[in-house]
Structure 1
Amino acid sequence: MLRWLIAILFLANLIALAAISGAFGPTPASGPREPGHLNREVHPDWLKVRPISPAESADATIVGGPVPMPAVKSSELTQ
């Protein structure tokens, strides 16, 4: 029974290798499917760069900064 399992897995690996190497045709991600899509997606003249205000920066994370202490109250447990 184990021999059949090993044979099936080996056959599945051979089929996967053949599919990746292009035996069944090119893969879907191998070429541009919509060549003009990127030209229409981003319009650089519509983008406006502006600095954010301090109120808007309250939600922004500070990379590399100290982690703020959570506002959790603790007390000793009584027995």
Structure 2
Amino acid sequence: MLRWPIAILFVVNVLAFVALRGVFGPTPIASARETNHLNRQIHPDWLKVRPVSAADAADQAVVGGPAPEAPISTSELPQ
């Protein structure tokens, strides 16, 4: 009863081993991918990282804090 599942798993393992050895070609992680993005950058040294000031951070949500209350006025509906 377990003969066929074991045989299938054995064949799949052999194929995985052969594929990792490079029989079907190099693995995708073997070479640099999308190098054209690095070549197309214009003046990457001009990029500056600056800290967020208190005024800029006032509208940022605090992670783990309560959700901010929306400034909405409500009233009773007439019956």
Identify the TM-score tier after normalising by the shorter chain: 0.5 to 0.7
Structure 1 outlier segments of 4+, above 6 Å: none
Instruction: Structure 2: give runs of 5+ residues left out of the alignment.
Output: 68-79
**Partner AA of 1:55 in structure 2:** A
Identity across matched positions, percent: 54
Q: CA RMSD in A?
A: 2.8
Instruction: Structure 1: give runs of 5+ residues left out of the alignment.
Output: 72-79
Query: 1:60, 1:39 → 2: CA distance?
Result: 36
Alignment correspondent of 1:44: 45
Alignment: residue pair count: 65
Alignment of 1:1-79 (within 5 A): 1-41=1-41, 43-45=44-46, 47-58=47-58, 59=60, 70=66
TM-score, normalised by the number of residues in structure 2: 0.58
Query: 2:17, 2:30 → 1: CA distance?
Result: 16
- Residue 24 of structure 1, CA deviation: 0.9
TM-score, normalised by the number of residues in structure 1: 0.58
- Residue 15 of structure 1, CA deviation: 0.3
Q: Secondary structure at the match of 1:55?
A: helix
